[in-house]
Every structure is written in structure tokens, then in C-alpha cells.
Amino acid sequence: MLLGPLTHPDLLHALAAAGHGSQVLLADGNYPHATGANPGAPRIHLNLRPGLLDVDQVLEAVHATVPIEAAAVMTPDGGASVPAHESYRRLLGERVAWQELGRFEFYDACRGPDLAAVVATGDQRLYANLLLTIGVRE
């Protein structure tokens, strides 16, 4: 029996197999899960219905399970503020490096060889995608 906040077997497996520098994509419900990420990365479907689960809920469990050293978000053209990003920064804290990428730059980053998993959520917020880089255990 697990004691931590994360109990999803496939997500635990993906995180346990990932190491320092590996990346995990927490994708909103609008993200092209099948084509917008490295084809070799497993897809973990947590998108039960629109709005459930959202990226914040998954981030809380992942952040309590693995160290995170960096995060990248997808930003809209024109640099408009994205409310979801504010909650991610609050949840991750100041020690996590932060990067903002345009839509196609974000897709390119998610297609890289270091992507260990894609987590499909039911998050309906626009630009609520979050690419996490796993750090080292201290």
C-alpha cells in the first residue's frame, strides 16, 4: 500500500523510470496528445471528463513525488497573461526555473528525446500546458 499522494500505477511507473533531466508533459484537454509530443513517450490518460482532472491537481501530486528543477509553459501570441500559469508558479515555488515558450516552440520542446511521459488531463483552460523537468533528489 502506498502512503504518498500519488497512486496511479502508470504515472508512478513513468516517474520512477525517469531521471534527472527527463521531462513530463502535463497537458490540458486541448493539447494534441497523439501528435504534439515525442511518439516514444507513454501517454497517461487522466482526462475522465472535461474539467476533471486539471493540471493543478496532477501537478500537486507529481510535485510531491519527484523533484522538479524547471518548468516551461505555452504562451499565446501577443504575450497575454494566462491565469493557469500563475497557479503553477505558486505551486512550484521560486526555486524552479521558469520558461515561457510560444505555441510551436512548446510543441518542439515536447517532441524532444527527453520526454518521459505525457499526462492527458481534462483541464479546459486555454494554454494550461506545463512541461516539467525532473531534478535531483537532495
Q: Over the stretch 39-95, which tens digit does the pLDDT of each residue have?
A: 999 999 999 999 999 999 999 999 999 999 999 999 999 888 999 999 999 999 999
How far apart (Å, rounded) are the C-alpha atoms in residues 18 and 113? 12
Domains of the chain plus CATH, in order, are: 20-132 (3.40.1650.10)
Please tell me the predicted confidence (pLDDT) of residue 27. Answer: 98
Indicate if 13 belongs to the active site: no
Omega into 53 within 30° of 0, i.e. cis?
yes
How far apart (Å, rounded) are the C-alpha atoms in residues 128 and 54? 9
Take residue 29 and report the three cell numbers written for it: 484537454
How far apart (Å, rounded) are the C-alpha atoms in residues 34 and 81? 27
What global pTM score does this model have? 0.96
Q: Over the stretch 78-93, which tens digit does the pLDDT of each residue have?
A: 888 999 999 999 999 9
Residue 118: what are its φ and ψ, rounded to 5°? -115, 125
Q: Which of 8, 20, 45, 85 is catalytic?
A: 20
Q: By 3-state DSSP, what share of the chain in percent is helix, strand and coil, each rounded to 5? A: 25, 25, 50
For residue 17, name the pLDDT band (cuts at 50, 70, 90): very high
Question: Any idea how long the chain is?
Answer: 138
- 103 in Cβ contact with 73 (< 8 Å): no
Cell 501537478 sits on residue: 59
